[in-house]
């Protein structure tokens, strides 16, 4: 297949990107030369050129590169790696700004809208015959919630995040001024160089392990500094898109909020002893103060802007009455109102509202009781502006604040909680005073829990359980904190309580028993939304039976009725893929959504799914729009809840243009798949049988290597830098969930991180090639090609495989394999054979000559990046060998290794 030629617009855009990268690279070179010295710059440039020559097929250049890197002092290795890492940080920033550039160019009049944008989606829906009333009905039901998580490999200092945004603004000035004057160009370059210089002089990671509070700040930076700012722009884009597709007035009175935000940071206790009642409380308080502070500042800005005189516009009696009421409510502050504003009722009211917000922050008299009371004041002003003679001046900025308050409330983001089911069982056993409770089968446990929940509460059991058991105290304290904080922050402050490794109705009943003992029962109802998390492929395959038992359990069903008959189920992508391979994981996740949707319909339960996707393909990562459209028809029903991993939060929400694009892609895909779902969207019957075979054969092949090969565990320990990653001070959570050194106990993040570092990227592709080969032998390659062309699920799987296979590098991977000695000689040939097999099938089914021919921009990006990643990889191999030879005790070598880990992560744009 020949590649599609680039359009003139694409060529122009590529030139602009190359110009930005070249400028940033030149400025970095100047900084390296000035601060690191000319010899460092010469070493960097020499390594880069040799790496490029090696990629071009010059074996001598490859050997010379390896010779130059071998034996570098730890200090020299650190500086060399820092140079390449800094380049990637700048290149990543340039690519982000480039995406904003492309988005702006495609919003120009006469240019087709950007694929996946709200304009493109709504035009397509209108073309399919959907009328405006149908669209507005779907929008009225739409619920999209990105949930931000911590990520141990991505916790950049706030100061570097700010510097990144400043550099992006400078690049965007170049975008706004394509032909700047010499003085303007010099000023832009001086600002860019200043930020690059400061970043070079700043350590990327703190020397101490980040605390939970540090991880909270990383997420809040993106929510407050970016998402808060762009939210009204998202609604403005939706309004324009509706009017483009359906005519004037179609975008008026949009439902809000369509999007809300959640977070796990501060509430994810699973395997993290640093998270508990204290972090739940501290996180909610910090979020509250931040969002109230933004409202205070925005009210002050609105008061300054709303200068309308009552002699020139009509102002409602209700506004005047509210000013009078607030003067009485806040007599001391009201005395500060300037006399010159006496004829400006809007300014007076907005200033008094600002005073009320300050009282809310200080928790003094006159505070707002809730976000709803603030919205009442804003609605009062809006109604007055829209009334005859109101003038409408400032209406849009007022609506912007309304949209923010409706979205963020007084809590900013919903806090989810998560804990391991096994811990709940242990504490429940103590509350029941049942020493053998853990040894009972699930049915027996459910019987005992049901009996306890139906009986009067035994308060002495709480005291007894907590008297000599710190675990019970910690667990119940978290639930008590939910009760206290809900009273203070409102019901929306908390999302679901998620149960990891949930395997039966007993796991849900155990948590309800704990909640009851913690005081969450009110009028015979336990005020807690409980969500099971199905993580392994076996748990996913058994989910129908598990959920059926949940819905059939009289106590749990009564609890559901008290919660509005709504059930959220979380689907785990990371562990299912880690244990059984990507083919089995993806197919089990697809099937479980279909099966549980049917089961919920039969039971009369409104079911929603929470997609726990990771940042990499091996952990369920995918292009968000493609992934949503690949889900089973009817699975979303207008509702999407998904994790946004800390690893990719900055890439998706770090700049305002990117964040707005991300929200458009998510909401547009949910709107499209909800509107167009029909029987014709479903796969042909024989395709499910083919996928059954691909999944089962792929799982068998993956597990044969990962779980049954006698030398695989040793290979993993020796051919990856897992021993370095385990020592990195990069997250508040330990790398393993439970004790034990096996793959099953290692968290999916360090597992995936290790395979990205050594350029294998094994979790993202291994086993699929064997599955495709097996299916083709039975059903024929032509039928698989039809699936690839007509079934979004299968096409998306192949697209993800193409990307991860293109990022893998077997030549570099072989150098890591050599670290494992004879073990590597046994294991790596198997991996190489399977990579080649998988690549050949992906090329064949996608009709490509080379990987990613269908996505040339991504193909070019990977090819341009590889020569800059290679020196860091080869250096890491050398350092690993020397560090391990020291008994892993040489701290200087270890520190240099830490730098290579971060640098390779920047270059690969993936960690765990």
The residues assigned a catalytic role are: 151, 578
Nearest alpha carbon to residue 873 among 69, 155, 93: 69
Closest CA to 86 of 98, 94, 75: 94
How many other CB atoms sit within 10 Å of the CB of residue 855? 18
| Exposed e or buried b per residue across 257-282, where buried means at least 16 C-beta atoms within 10 angstroms of its C-beta | bbbbbbbbbbbbbbbbebbbbebbbe
Q: Give the separation between CA 418 and CA 268, rounded to whole angstroms.
A: 5
Return the number of other C-beta atoms located less than 10 Å from residue 57's C-beta. Answer: 8
The DSSP letter of residue 435 is T
- Name the residue among 581, 635, 906, 599 with its Cα closest to residue 770: 581
**What are the distances in angstroms from CA 852 to CA 102, 227, 590, 732, 859?**
20, 32, 25, 37, 5
Q: How far apart are CA 878 and CA 899, in angstroms?
A: 14
Between CA 438 and CA 483 the distance in angstroms is 28
291 burial (CB, 10 Å; 0-12 / 13-18 / 19+) is buried
Q: Strands 521-522 and 262-263, how do they pair? A: unpaired
Element (H, E) at 612: strand 606-612
Contact in structure between 323 and 345 (CB atoms under 8 Å): yes
Query: Which residues touch 213 (CB under 8 Å, ≥6 apart)?
Result: 279, 282, 286
CB 819 within 8 A of CB 876: no
Q: How far is CA 249 from CA 137, 254, 255, 389, 668, in A?
A: 16, 11, 14, 21, 20
Nearest alpha carbon to residue 456 among 524, 366, 359: 524
Q: Nearest Cα to 644, choosing from 658, 630, 632, 629?
A: 658
* Residue 505: how many other CB atoms lie within 10 Å: 26
Cβ proximity of 417 and 498 under 8 Å: yes
Torsion of CA 867, 872, 873, 876, to 10 degrees: 170
Cα separation, 757 vs 900, in Å, equals 9
Q: Is the dihedral of CA 883, 884, 885, 888 positive or negative?
A: positive
Instruction: Give the separation between CA 483 and CA 479, rounded to whole angstroms.
Output: 7
In a 10 Å sphere around its CB, with 0-12 CB exposed, 13-18 middle and 19+ buried, how is residue 350 labelled? buried
787: buried, middle or exposed (CB in 10 Å: 19+, 13-18, 0-12)? Answer: buried
């Amino acid at each position: 297949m020949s590649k599609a030629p680039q359009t003139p617009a694409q060529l122009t855009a590529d030139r602009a990107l190359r110009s930005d990268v070249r400028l940033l690279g030149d400025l970095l070179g100047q900084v390296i030369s000035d601060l690191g010295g000319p010899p460092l710059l010469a070493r960097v440039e020499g390594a880069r050129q040799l790496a490029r020559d090696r990629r071009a097929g010059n074996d001598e250049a490859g050997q010379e590169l390896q010779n130059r890197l071998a034996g570098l002092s730890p200090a020299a290795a650190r500086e060399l790696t820092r140079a390449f890492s800094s380049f990637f940080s700048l290149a990543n920033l340039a690519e982000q700004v480039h995406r904003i550039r492309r988005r702006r160019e495609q919003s120009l009049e006469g240019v087709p809208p950007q694929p996946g944008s709200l304009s493109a989606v709504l035009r397509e829906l209108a073309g399919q015959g959907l009328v405006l009333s149908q669209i507005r009905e779907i929008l009225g039901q739409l619920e999209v919630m990105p949930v931000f998580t911590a990520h141990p490999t991505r916790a950049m200092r706030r100061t570097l995040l700010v510097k990144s945004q400043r550099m992006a603004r400078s690049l965007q000035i170049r975008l706004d001024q394509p032909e700047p004057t010499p003085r303007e160009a010099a000023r832009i370059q001086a600002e860019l160089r200043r930020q690059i210089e400061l970043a070079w002089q700043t350590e990327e990671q703190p020397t101490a392990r980040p605390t939970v509070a540090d991880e909270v700040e990383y997420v809040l930076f993106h929510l407050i500094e970016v998402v808060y700012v762009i939210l009204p722009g998202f609604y403005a884009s939706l309004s324009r898109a509706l009017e483009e597709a359906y005519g004037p007035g179609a975008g008026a009175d949009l439902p809000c909020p369509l999007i809300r935000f959640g977070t796990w940071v501060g509430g994810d206790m699973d395997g993290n002893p640093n998270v508990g009642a204290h972090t739940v409380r501290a996180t909610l308080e910090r979020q509250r103060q931040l969002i109230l502070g933004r409202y205070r500042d925005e009210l002050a800005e609105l008061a300054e802007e709303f200068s309308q005189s009552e002699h020139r516009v009509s102002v409602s009696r209700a506004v005047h009455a509210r000013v009078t009421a607030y003067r009485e409510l806040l007599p001391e502050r009201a005395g500060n109102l300037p006399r010159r504003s006496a004829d400006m009722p809007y300014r007076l009211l907005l200033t008094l509202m600002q005073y009320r917000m300050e009282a809310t922050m200080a928790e003094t008299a006159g505070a707002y009781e809730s976000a709803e009371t603030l919205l009442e004041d804003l609605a009062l002003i809006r109604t007055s502006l829209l009334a005859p003679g109101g003038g409408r001046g400032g209406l849009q900025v007022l609506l912007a604040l309304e949209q923010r308050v409706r979205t963020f409330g007084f809590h900013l983001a919903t806090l989810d909680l998560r804990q391991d089911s096994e811990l709940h069982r242990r504490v429940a056993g103590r509350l029941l005073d049942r020493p053998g409770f853990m040894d009972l089968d699930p049915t027996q446990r459910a019987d005992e829990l049901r009996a306890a929940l139906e009986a009067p509460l035994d308060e002495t059991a709480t005291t007894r359980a907590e008297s000599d058991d710190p675990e019970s105290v910690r667990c119940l304290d978290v639930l008590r904190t939910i009760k206290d904080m809900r009273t203070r922050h409102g019901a929306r402050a908390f999302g679901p309580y998620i149960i990891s490794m949930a395997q039966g109705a007993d796991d849900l009943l155990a948590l309800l028993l704990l909640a009851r003992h913690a005081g969450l029962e009110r009028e015979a109802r336990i005020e807690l939304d409980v969500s099971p998390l199905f993580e392994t492929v076996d748990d996913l395959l058994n989910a129908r039976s598990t959920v059926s038992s949940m819905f059939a359990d009289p106590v749990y069903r009564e609890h559901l009725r008290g919660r509005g008959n709504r059930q959220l189920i979380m689907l785990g992508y990371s562990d299912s893929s880690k244990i059984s391979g990507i083919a089995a994981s993806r197919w089990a996740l697809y099937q479980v959504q279909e099966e549980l949707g049917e089961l919920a319909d039969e039971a009369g339960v409104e079911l929603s799914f929470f997609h726990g996707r990771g940042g990499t393909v091996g952990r369920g990562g995918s292009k968000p729009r493609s992934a949503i459209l690949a889900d089973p028809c009817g699975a979303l029903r207008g509702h999407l809840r998904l994790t946004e991993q800390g690893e990719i939060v900055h890439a998706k929400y770090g700049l305002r243009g990117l964040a707005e694009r991300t929200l458009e892609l998510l909401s547009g895909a949910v709107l499209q798949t909800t509107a167009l779902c029909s029987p014709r969207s479903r796969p042909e019957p024989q395709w499910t049988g083919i996928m059954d075979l691909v999944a089962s054969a792929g799982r068998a092949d993956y597990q044969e290597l990962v779980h049954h090969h006698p030398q695989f565990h040793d290979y993993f320990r020796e051919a990856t830098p897992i021993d370095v990653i385990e020592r990195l001070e990069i997250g508040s959570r330990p790398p393993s969930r439970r004790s034990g050194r096996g793959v099953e106990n290692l968290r999916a993040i360090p597992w995936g991180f290790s395979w990205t570092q050594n350029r294998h990227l094994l979790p993202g592709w291994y086993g699929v090639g064997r599955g495709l080969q097996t299916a083709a032998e039975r059903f024929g390659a032509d039928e698989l090609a039809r699936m690839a062309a007509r079934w979004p699920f299968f096409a998306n799987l192949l697209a993800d495989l193409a990307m991860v296979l293109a990022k893998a590098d077997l030549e570099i991977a072989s150098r890591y394999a050599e670290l494992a000695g004879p073990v590597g000689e046994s294991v790596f040939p198997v991996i190489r054979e399977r990579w080649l097999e998988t690549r050949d099938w992906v090329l064949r089914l996608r009709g490509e000559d080379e990987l990613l021919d269908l996505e040339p921009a991504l193909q070019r990006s990977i090819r341009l990046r590889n020569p800059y990643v290679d020196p860091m990889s080869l250096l890491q191999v050398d350092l690993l060998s020397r560090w391990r030879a020291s008994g892993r005790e040489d701290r200087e070598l270890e520190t240099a290794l830490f730098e290579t880990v971060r640098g390779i992560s920047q270059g690969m744009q993936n960690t765990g």
